Amino acid sequence: MSIKPLSDRVLILPNPAEEKTAGGLFIPETAKEKPLAGKVIAAGPGTEEVKMEVKVDDTVLYSKYAGTEVNVDGVDYLIMRQNDILAII
Protein backbone atom coordinates (compact mmCIF):
# COMPACT_ATOMS: atom_id res chain seq x y z
CA MET A 1 0.00 0.00 0.00
CA SER A 2 1.43 3.35 -1.02
CA ILE A 3 -0.69 5.36 1.45
CA LYS A 4 0.27 5.56 5.12
CA PRO A 5 -2.24 7.52 7.21
CA LEU A 6 -0.82 9.99 9.71
CA SER A 7 -1.89 10.70 13.28
CA ASP A 8 -5.31 9.18 14.09
CA ARG A 9 -6.44 8.74 10.49
CA VAL A 10 -7.63 5.49 8.91
CA LEU A 11 -7.74 4.34 5.26
CA ILE A 12 -10.92 2.40 4.45
CA LEU A 13 -11.99 0.38 1.42
CA PRO A 14 -15.80 0.86 1.32
CA ASN A 15 -17.98 -2.19 0.75
CA PRO A 16 -19.52 -2.23 -2.74
CA ALA A 17 -22.98 -0.65 -3.09
CA GLU A 18 -25.93 -3.03 -3.26
CA GLU A 19 -26.67 -4.13 -6.84
CA LYS A 20 -30.22 -5.37 -6.20
CA THR A 21 -32.90 -5.36 -3.54
CA ALA A 22 -33.86 -8.27 -1.31
CA GLY A 23 -36.81 -8.87 -3.67
CA GLY A 24 -34.48 -9.23 -6.66
CA LEU A 25 -34.98 -5.84 -8.33
CA PHE A 26 -31.85 -4.26 -9.77
CA ILE A 27 -30.97 -0.81 -8.42
CA PRO A 28 -29.97 1.77 -11.06
CA GLU A 29 -26.62 3.53 -10.63
CA THR A 30 -28.30 6.86 -9.84
CA ALA A 31 -30.36 5.39 -6.97
CA LYS A 32 -27.56 3.52 -5.18
CA GLU A 33 -26.68 4.75 -1.71
CA LYS A 34 -23.15 5.12 -0.47
CA PRO A 35 -22.09 2.13 1.65
CA LEU A 36 -21.69 2.85 5.35
CA ALA A 37 -19.30 -0.02 6.09
CA GLY A 38 -15.86 -0.97 4.90
CA LYS A 39 -12.56 -2.69 5.63
CA VAL A 40 -9.61 -0.93 7.27
CA ILE A 41 -6.66 -1.05 4.87
CA ALA A 42 -4.20 1.08 6.88
CA ALA A 43 -4.21 2.98 10.16
CA GLY A 44 -2.03 5.72 11.54
CA PRO A 45 -0.03 5.39 14.77
CA GLY A 46 -2.41 7.54 16.84
CA THR A 47 -1.47 10.50 19.01
CA GLU A 48 -0.68 11.07 22.66
CA GLU A 49 -4.34 11.90 23.25
CA VAL A 50 -5.89 9.34 20.87
CA LYS A 51 -5.10 5.63 21.21
CA MET A 52 -5.84 3.72 17.99
CA GLU A 53 -8.59 1.18 18.60
CA VAL A 54 -9.02 0.02 14.99
CA LYS A 55 -6.46 -2.09 13.18
CA VAL A 56 -5.87 -3.36 9.67
CA ASP A 57 -8.52 -5.87 8.44
CA ASP A 58 -11.22 -4.64 10.86
CA THR A 59 -14.65 -4.15 9.32
CA VAL A 60 -16.12 -0.86 10.49
CA LEU A 61 -19.29 1.23 10.30
CA TYR A 62 -18.90 4.96 9.69
CA SER A 63 -21.19 7.96 9.37
CA LYS A 64 -22.73 8.81 6.01
CA TYR A 65 -20.66 11.92 5.25
CA ALA A 66 -17.44 10.89 7.00
CA GLY A 67 -14.05 11.03 5.38
CA THR A 68 -12.49 12.20 2.18
CA GLU A 69 -12.63 10.13 -0.99
CA VAL A 70 -9.26 9.34 -2.59
CA ASN A 71 -8.50 7.32 -5.71
CA VAL A 72 -5.29 5.27 -5.77
CA ASP A 73 -4.45 3.06 -8.75
CA GLY A 74 -8.09 3.15 -9.90
CA VAL A 75 -9.51 2.06 -6.51
CA ASP A 76 -11.67 4.42 -4.43
CA TYR A 77 -10.84 4.66 -0.72
CA LEU A 78 -11.98 6.82 2.18
CA ILE A 79 -9.57 8.44 4.59
CA MET A 80 -11.05 9.63 7.88
CA ARG A 81 -10.27 10.26 11.52
CA GLN A 82 -10.81 7.39 13.92
CA ASN A 83 -13.53 9.36 15.75
CA ASP A 84 -15.67 9.29 12.53
CA ILE A 85 -15.89 5.50 12.89
CA LEU A 86 -19.04 4.45 14.72
CA ALA A 87 -18.34 0.76 15.42
CA ILE A 88 -16.17 -2.24 14.65
CA ILE A 89 -18.21 -5.20 13.38
**What CATH architecture does domain 1-13+32-89 belong to?**
Roll (2.30)
Give CA angle at 19 (43, 89), nearest 5°. 35
Say whether pLDDT at 20 is over 80. no
pLDDT digits (tens, 9 = 90+) for 28-48: 666 666 668 999 999 999 999
Look at residues 57, 78, 87 and name the one whose alpha carbon lies nearest to residue 9. Answer: 78
Predicted TM-score (pTM) of the model is: 0.81
pLDDT digits (tens, 9 = 90+) for 55-84: 999 999 998 888 999 998 889 999 999 999
Strand pairing category for 9-14 and 37-43: antiparallel
pLDDT for position 58: 94
For the chain, domain boundaries: 1-13+32-89
Q: Which residue type sits at 5?
A: P
54/46 Cα distance (integer angstroms) = 10
Higher confidence at residue 19 or residue 86?
Answer: 86
pLDDT for position 38: 94
